[in-house]
Amino acid sequence: MARTPAWTARRTPTQDRARATVDVILEAAAQVFAERGYAAGTSNRIAARAGVSVGSFYQYFPNKDAVLVALVERHLEAGMDSVQELLEAAAAKPGDLEGLLRSFVWAMLTLHEREPDLHRVLFEEAPHPAELHECVLRAEERLAHIWLSILSQLPGVSVRGSDTAAHLVVQLTEALTHRFVLHGIHELPSTAFVEEVVTLLKRYLMEPEAQPRGAP
């Protein structure tokens, strides 16, 4: 087993037919992973589910892990695109930090609730090679960068350390929504969870003396 070294694509498809094959393989892999778990996602089974032969599988994926990485990349990129769009739109009308935070947390929650089975397999059950983690880090970096620009033009936010703050906001929200969707917090409903996280973030980002209710 495991004789091929890398997780890079073996042959890049040039014809539509080939691109369709790659797509159908990825889709099949997602189904198999979601339904039967990561261990059941053997190359032969994925190929069978996709309706193609193992040969075709290995023409585009050097090994099983490559499929995992490709799936995560796809999943992540789509999610980040939508959140980025939302953030940039909401950042256009300034002043409403709470509304922005609420949109953000809801978006992250929705992201995790889309295809939760697949999400669980991809990010919890499956082994995480280093390469996979870099994808996640890159995605977080992207969001943190946007948040940095938002924080910098926001009144009442300390400029010093706002790079750190941006990272904390992103990592914290990601981690908490992830756990909430997959394991829940007792019987806490989603709405209450979101409000609590929004409160948390708002109190963090507002300087204490800038708190609206703090001024007499």
Partner DNA sequence: CTAGAATCCGAACAATTACTCGCGTTTGTC
Partner DNA sequence: GACAAACGCGAGTAATTGTTCGGATTCTAG
Residues that bind DNA (CB under 7 A): 1-4, 11, 13-18, 20-21, 39, 42-44, 51-59, 62-64
Taking the complex as a whole, the smallest distance from the CB of residue 87 to DNA amounts, in Å, to 37
Sorted by sequence, the CB contacts under 8 Å of residue 11 that are 6+ apart come out as 59, 60
Nearest to 151 by CA among 105, 190, 215, 100: 100
Which of 67, 170 has the CB closer to DNA? 67
For residue 19, the number of C-alpha atoms closer than 13 Å in the C-beta half-sphere is 3
Q: Does the footprint of a second copy cover residue 208 (CB under 8 A)?
A: yes
- Crossing angle of helices 64-92 and 97-113, rounded to 10°: 160
- Cβ atoms of residues 109 and 134 within 8 Å: no
User: Out of 128, 138, 155, 159, which residue is the one contacting a second copy (CB under 8 A)?
Assistant: 128
Taking the complex as a whole, the smallest distance from the CB of residue 91 to a second copy amounts, in Å, to 22
173 binds, among a second copy, DNA, none (CB under 5 to 8 A by kind): none
185 binds, among a second copy, DNA, none (CB under 5 to 8 A by kind): a second copy
Task: Report the distance separating Cα 48 and Cα 41, nearest Å.
Answer: 11
What sections of 93-123 are H helices per DSSP?
Answer: 97-113, 116-120
Q: Token digits for 192?
A: 């209450």
Task: Report the distance separating Cα 181 and Cα 173, nearest Å.
Answer: 12
Which of 33, 104 has the CB closer to DNA? 33
Which of 52, 72 has the CB closer to DNA? 52
Q: Does the footprint of a second copy cover residue 148 (CB under 8 A)?
A: no
160 binds, among DNA, a second copy, none (CB under 5 to 8 A by kind): none
17 binds, among a second copy, DNA, none (CB under 5 to 8 A by kind): DNA
Which of 61, 193 has the CB closer to DNA? 61
Q: Find where tokens 């490559």 sit.
A: 66
DSSP letter at 124? I
Q: Does the footprint of a second copy cover residue 126 (CB under 8 A)?
A: yes
Q: Does the footprint of a second copy cover residue 135 (CB under 8 A)?
A: no
